[in-house]
Structure 1
């Protein structure tokens, strides 16, 4: 299980970093073409828009795997270790339900609706853009199942963060 998680982290981290680097280059080109050449690129705005959609959804899946999604730790900090593990399990189950229903099922409906549409400038199928929803949903479900497997063995994906916090408190 840990090798699967490490492989997913490596691939997804590389994809997100590559997307970010590509988007920075496209943005730099857009600024240069607009202000230096006085001829704005028509493609760059769509590339940036759709790239940010993909990057944010893949980044959300990556954050799910790392346990670094946005959360309020007020309740979690007041629980015992066993209570924290149960809360983490509940959160993972909630992620599976949300990702399965909203992102995968709803995303596939969006892909099927948008299959005949193309983007205004680049003329790419809009289903490619909507495909980011079920792909990120599937990754979130997989990461959440890995998190649940860790929790069933008494390990929390928050364990390294808690260990670091305890070292800093010493």
Structure 2
């Protein structure tokens, strides 16, 4: 593996390590929030309406951030049947091309997501009465993280000595050690 490819791979895995921990923390908060909502509704009759709105925002943030983790592990959608039957040079260029197309998509989502979040700061959430821009910031943040991962994966694919064997091939291969 070339030094550039190795550095891109290591950086991608480090960024992914942080994103995975954030997603797990959001999941823990989500589970606790849902349990509190269940307890408040059925066990302890308390008017805790905020749990439903918080659960919605936690779930959206967690799902959006998990996209970059899926990209880092090459678990995004691809046409594997055709890809795996192509010769190695074609697979390399095709994988890099897919990365570029996905990067353009997420860069546009990042750009328009910033405008979306900006407009959200002029509207308030129903229960918390906080600006909706804060929950909406999950869109450009997740798209930015996806762009970072796609750039690192694209560098890894382009500079790696061997072409990817499959679109779903993870960066952590048993033979890499």
Bucket of the pairwise TM-score, normalised by the shorter protein = 0.7 to 0.9
Q: Which residue of 1 aligns with 2:53?
A: 46
5+ residue gaps, structure 1: 165-170
Gaps of 5+ in 2: 1-7
Superimposed CA distance per residue, residues 1-50 of structure 1 (whole angstroms, 9 cap, x where no aligned partner):
33422320111010001101110111111111111113352010011111
Distance 1:58 1:111 in 2: 16
Matched, 1:13 2:20: yes
**1:125 maps to 2:131:** yes
Under a length normalisation based on structure 2, what TM-score does the superposition of the two structures give?
0.83
Q: Which residue of 1 aligns with 2:75?
A: 68
Equivalent pair of 2:92/2:157 in contact (CA under 8 Å): yes
Give the paired residue count: 163
Counterpart CA distance in 2 for 1:13 and 1:34 is 31
The answer to whether 1:151 aligns with 2:157 is yes
TM-score by length of 1: 0.86
Contact preservation (8 Å) 2:12, 2:153: no
Q: CA RMSD in A?
A: 2.1
Higher normalized contact order (CA 8 Å, seq sep 6+, divided by chain length):
2
